[in-house]
Structure 1
Amino acid sequence: MREILAMEEDFPERLREIPDSPKCIYLIGNLPEKKEPTVGIIGARNGTEYGKKVALSLARELVAYGIGIVSGMAYGIDSAAHRGALEGGGKTYAVLGSGADVCYPAVNQKLYEEIAKTGGIISEYAPGAPPLPHHFVERNRLIAGLSDVLIVVEARERSGTFITVDRALEQGKQVFAVPGRISDALSKGCNKLLMEGAGICLSQADILHCFSIEAGEKKQAEIHLNEEENRVYQALRLDGKHIDCLAKELKMSVEKLYPILIGLELSGYCESKGNTYSRRSL
């Protein structure tokens, strides 16, 4: 673990420029490089399977363009974003509300270790510091500071996620939200952000535009589907299939199939019109 003081050359410029900049940070692994584009992906700790699938897919696609993913390693959306970045072979950075040597939540120990290998674990709190409630409020400004762009995937109308959003806006960052169904409690926060002027995130292309990157100009190898995703992809046809037909053919519930299809669509493997999904040639 390294301690990096604000006066040192290695202290990240992104954090040096924010209000209430930390006097030092503790680091396991690496910081984002100065010219490395970064995207923060945040959302509800009790995110739905759909929300977690969207976060994972967005992160997995974005790292293919050399973009680093920043989040807080919390349950739900945060963890899904980190996993997506790792699955895509990219870099991801976790900003903790505890000491950098304290994995919280403990169930994320394996994820914590994987992040440290290729990305970085970052904290402003001294080694051994416990995960206190006010630490998470304070660390949100660092998540915003390390992110060039911020995406909110799922959030309640009154959510701690908005603390990070407010800090990002104060820092002049662009904020995006993933829209959701008006009847879903975890979509109300995102839909509210969209009403207030946040950018709409329907796929990675909406985010790539912020960095003047065109979809298709990937800097890394093409992403491969896992076994379950490939099974669904192979069942699709160019002229489309209704989701109910796919569910029956694959002997899979619509509830399980839907987030897989959303992930495939976000990754550019299929497209939808209503409840009909069409395969795209790779």
Structure 2
Amino acid sequence: MKLKGRHLIDVNDFTVEELQAIINLGLVIYKNPSKFSELCKGKILGTLFYEPSTRTRLSFESAMLRMGGTVLGFADAETSSVKKGESVADTIRVLDGYADIIVMRHPREGAPLLASQYSTVPIINGGDGGHQHPTQTLTDLLTIQYYKNHIENLKVAICGDLLFGRTVHSLLKTLSRFPNIEFILISPPELKIPLHLKNDVIEKHNVKIIETTSLEEHMKDIDVLYMTRIQKERFFNEDDYIKLKDSYILTPEKLKYAKEDLLLMHPLPRVNEINYDVDKDPRAKYFQQARLGVFARMALMVLLLGRDTNA
């Protein structure tokens, strides 16, 4: 299976088998990281973050540094030539002379795809607007594999902002391709999953979907609960955000009826949608999920760079 030189812009860029290969390698690295400590020695990761990020940017940097590589780039477009009016295409054409692989986050949907059309090195989409976040999905899949031992025959509840949530969109598109996945989609009516995504992606795979506004209604049946925040930055009207921001707050009381082996996830950052008392629950794995993201991204970069994992 050859992924060398490929871009990752959309989760559908890779087959299920290719995604599984990345996940499997990520788990191998997680269990024996020292074996990979110099696998990317001499390689440079370029980071282009036109939008704020903590976990994605730092986990990519950590991933490359853990493999002996180095990092250059910017975490704020205001400190780059973007402020002078430089286009994405020109920035990419310059940076791909400096770096061996590039991760890019941008507020405009489609910007990483545009970048990939001008780049001679692999481009990784680190999140574009409310569209997609494929490496968060790799993190999510690796987390499910690690704690559930499989990515099939699962009832997955996703709660919060299903309209603007790029992590949600990528996860839905990807999990719908795995065997016997059922979705329970929990959101206010104003933040329901986009109709085109529901029709074109999920229903295409004959996935069972339940849409509801109640977090508690299906709690006893859920295998994986994926909480998300209501994203203030995606609203044009602050009053609309204020009206919806407290729609769902997960508390220990609401988890009393959940399965003992429930996997509770969150892409972070958290605002108030998970009460801090829930952190003590052994089923809460969102901070472990963030840690596993480093190893998912290590595996991805190893394969896109064509490094020999058997050396």
Which fold has the larger relative contact order, with Cα–Cα distance below 8 Å and residues 6 or more apart in sequence? 2
Tell me the TM-score normalized by structure 2: 0.34
Tell me the TM-score normalized by structure 1: 0.36
